[in-house]
């Protein structure tokens, strides 16, 4: 219990320091893009490539992937069924994005590093990002394209999404890491050291930049965001726990998947919502509410597991 609370405290302080840095004028508007770029283009790709290249792959991973992806597909199917009945297209998009687009890399990995710890936990975290993350990103980008171009087809929206993903540094590092790991290709020692140094910056920088990013945003839809946040903070983790129990996953595997599927809305959804004109106030409020709420709910889920 003390370790869980301590980890939540560390995360809260790091996010708070980023927020305070903007409030005191140490960092200015737009500076978060530099921090985000460092994490997005260097630290996180280094972490994912390193962990995935060294991971051990077996058929057991299929159970891990199924337990992590099954709840997401189940909720999407449920929303699709409701769409066929009476759910409006706009609400389908809103609920789908709120459910699927979690901050696996920027929040999940740091939380696991501080709250769980250990090389095996970080390896499983990298696997969950590498094997589950691309689907969430691709699905959400496709929905945003459809929302912006209301007369467009799924095929056209999916094509635009695939072109964007082909240039994504996280996706590229995942593919390279998986190829090296599956091919059992070892990395030179000097290259491993470079990746290790860059990887060490992931947790503190990602959390600090989250605080910087959250400062000064308009949060005018807090009540609505509270309801939407339950999808990722309560419903999805509960389903994930059920899937993990049925599939017989270990306690550590279950913990990693519940944490990853219980992470808050990805903070870069704020930028995407502005770019696509997609529920701008709701997404900003949801990012704030779910980020703060996840510190409590993820700690509680660890106690349940």
pLDDT, tens digit, 9 for 90 and up, residues 93-141: 999 999 999 999 889 999 999 999 899 999 999 999 998 888 889 999 9
- Tokens 């990103």 identify what position? 137
Residues of the chain with pLDDT > 90, as a percent, come to: 61
- d(CA 267, CA 107) in angstroms, rounded, equals 9
- Check whether 152 has a pLDDT greater than 70: no
Helices (H), 86-152: 89-100, 109-115, 119-148
Where on the phi/psi map is residue 223: left (φ > 0), alpha (ψ -120 to 50), or beta?
A: alpha
Top pLDDT among 1 and 102 is at 102
User: Token pair of 258, please?
Assistant: 């519940």
Confidence of residue 167 (pLDDT cuts 50, 70, 90): confident
**pLDDT of res. 197:** 93
Mean pLDDT over 259-281 rounds to 92
Burial grade of 305 (CB within 10 A; 0-12, 13-18, 19 or more): middle
Q: Which domains occur in the chain, in start order?
A: 2-304 (1.20.1530)
pLDDT, mean over the chain: 91
- d(CA 99, CA 71) in angstroms, rounded, equals 10
**pLDDT of res. 3:** 66
Number of H helices, E strands in the chain: 16, 0
**pLDDT of res. 18:** 94
User: Token pair of 257, please?
Assistant: 């998947």
Q: Mapping DSSP to helix (H, G, I), strand (E, B) and coil, where does residue 112 land? A: helix
- Check whether 2 has a pLDDT greater than 70: no
- Check whether 68 has a pLDDT greater than 90: yes
Query: Which residues does 273 contact at the CB level (< 8 Å), separation at least 6?
Result: 279, 280, 282, 283, 284
């Amino acid at each position: 219990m003390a370790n869980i609370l301590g980890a939540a405290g560390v995360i809260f302080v790091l996010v708070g320091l980023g927020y305070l840095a903007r409030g005191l004028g140490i960092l200015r508007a737009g500076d978060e893009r530099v921090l985000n770029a460092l994490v997005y283009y260097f630290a996180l790709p280094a972490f994912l490539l390193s962990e995935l290249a060294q991971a051990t792959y077996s058929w057991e991973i299929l159970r891990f992937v199924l337990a992590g992806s099954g709840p997401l597909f189940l909720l999407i199917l449920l929303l699709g069924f409701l769409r066929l009945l009476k759910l409006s297209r706009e609400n389908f998009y809103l609920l789908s994005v709120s459910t699927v687009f979690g901050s696996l890399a920027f929040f999940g990995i740091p939380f696991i590093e501080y709250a769980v710890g250990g090389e095996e936990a970080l390896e499983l975290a990298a696997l969950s990002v590498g094997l589950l993350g691309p689907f969430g990103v691709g699905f959400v980008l496709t929905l945003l394209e459809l929302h912006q171009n209301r007369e467009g087809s799924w095929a056209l929206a999916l094509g635009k999404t695939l072109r964007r993903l082909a240039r994504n540094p996280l996706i590229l590092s995942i593919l390279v890491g998986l190829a090296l790991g599956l091919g059992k290709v070892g990395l030179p020692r000097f290259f491993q050291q470079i990746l290790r140094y860059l990887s060490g910056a992931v947790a503190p920088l990602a959390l600090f930049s989250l605080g910087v990013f959250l400062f000064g945003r308009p949060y005018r839809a807090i009540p609505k965001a509270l309801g939407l946040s339950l999808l990722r903070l309560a419903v999805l983790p509960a389903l994930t726990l059920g899937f993990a129990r049925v599939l017989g996953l270990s306690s550590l595997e279950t913990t990693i998947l519940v944490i990853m599927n219980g992470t808050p809305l990805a903070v870069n959804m704020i930028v995407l919502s502005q770019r696509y004109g997609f529920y701008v106030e709701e997404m900003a409020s949801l990012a704030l509410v779910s980020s703060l709420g996840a510190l409590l709910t993820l700690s509680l889920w660890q106690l349940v597991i």
